[in-house]
Amino acid sequence: MKKHIVCIASEHKGNEFLEECQNADWHVTLVTRKKLLDEPWIWTALNDVKTVENEASVEDYVRVVTNIAGSRPIDRVIGLDEFDVTTAARVREHLQLGGMSYSNAIRFRDKYAMRRIADEAGIPCPDYICPLNADEINVFLDRVQMPVIVKPRHEVSAFGIRKCESKEQVWKVLKDLDERNNWRDHPSQFLVERFIDGDVYHIDSVVNEGKVVCAGVSRYGRPPFSVTHYGGVFTTSIVDYGSKERKELEKLNAKLLKAFGYGNGVTHGEFLHSRSDGKFYLLEVACRVGGAYIANVLEHACGFNLWREWAKLSIADKDDPYKPPKLRKEYAGVALALSKDEVPDTSGYDEPEIVYRVKKARHVGLIFHSKRRERVLELLETYSQRISDDFLAIAPAKERYDD
């Protein structure tokens, strides 16, 4: 009987992961929400599909996968989205399968846990406090330089972040959260931390037996907080291979993942490069593939696909061990925005360096590839303006990630 992998996906993503498992002759089962059945999954890579209700709880996922195990033994369970990582861990613990435990997985979701682990490892973090005790909060706010941000401990990207210019504003936000009288919005579910002005870098890694075997280092054109809250074109591009920033981030990333005790898989880490003191500060780290077509950017620039490498790591064993990919050192970047058109027509964008066009409703996006970083940066600047002029739509920032 073929080995069996169950992939949990509460969002439409991970086709390359599914295909890689199918190519390795595994039986692949997808568990997803009912409303996602019409999404363009790579159906030829799937042997079975099971659904949960759109508002399914973790327990609902555990129940569905347990029922799957009743008809066909399961060898691996993987969560493909940010929120699925901990769900998959719960499933594995219930079925007593190998892989990351829930207590380890939650550290990659909880920004308070991230800060504490990084602090103990000597990795710089912005000054922070979990708002538990009023006296300690006041001491912190009197000490730290304004502005500060109030951010959810468990959300992704810039969702739910509030920037506060004064102590009074912070207390107003915390009071408002407390008055909602639900556990998800309780002030203890948030962090208060010093806002640091600077550039945000991300490092996307493939980790095998605790060692980073390949990684892409990139820099956002504008911090995700700015794009989420004020609109505009999102960009990110590969950092120069010989740069001081790349070398420093590679060292910080390896040190961080060692502190987390991370064994096998992929990670997406974000670091802020402060304009005031030149230091890198940890923003967050997740054990999944980064969004916004980062995997596609790295594939064109560096020659490896994060989804496929994650799949290979997930199904590797002593008889068929994981083999790291061969790398190349070229450059790529993506420009991505919300579109006012349902199906934006980018046929007029005809630069030869365009190697990928985003095919998603009300989105416009292009990936550029070149052996020269300067050319990629030039194209990102030019096309950010063209996209803004031709297609740009701005949606209000979500307070939280719901769907």
Sorting pLDDT into bands at 50, 70 and 90, what band is 376?
A: very high
Q: Are residues 261 and 297 in the same domain?
A: yes
pLDDT digits (tens, 9 = 90+) for 280-301: 999 999 999 998 899 999 999 9
121: in domain: no
Q: Are residues 243 and 268 in the same domain?
A: yes
Question: Residue 187: pLDDT above 60?
Answer: yes
Rounded mean pLDDT of 224-231? 65
Q: Are residues 151 and 170 in the same domain?
A: yes
CB contact at 8 A, 213 and 245 = no
Model pLDDT, residue 318: 87
CB contact at 8 A, 244 and 222 = no
Model pLDDT, residue 8: 98
Distance CA 343, CA 44 (A): 26
Domain count of the fold of the chain: 3
Q: Are residues 364 and 237 in the same domain?
A: yes
Sorting pLDDT into bands at 50, 70 and 90, what band is 321?
A: very high
Q: Are residues 188 and 211 in the same domain?
A: no
- Of 105, 82, 88, residue with least CA distance to 288: 82
Question: Residue 401: pLDDT above 60?
Answer: no
38: in domain: yes
Domain interval for residue 169 = 127-194
- Final residue in a domain of this structure, among 140, 163, 194: 194
CATH number at residue 246: 3.30.470.20
Rounded mean pLDDT of 110-127? 96
- Final residue in a domain of this structure, among 177, 194, 211: 194
120: in domain: no
pTM: 0.91
- Cα distances (angstroms) measured from residue 238 to each of 63, 242, 283, 390: 42, 12, 19, 26
- Final residue in a domain of this structure, among 163, 179, 194: 194
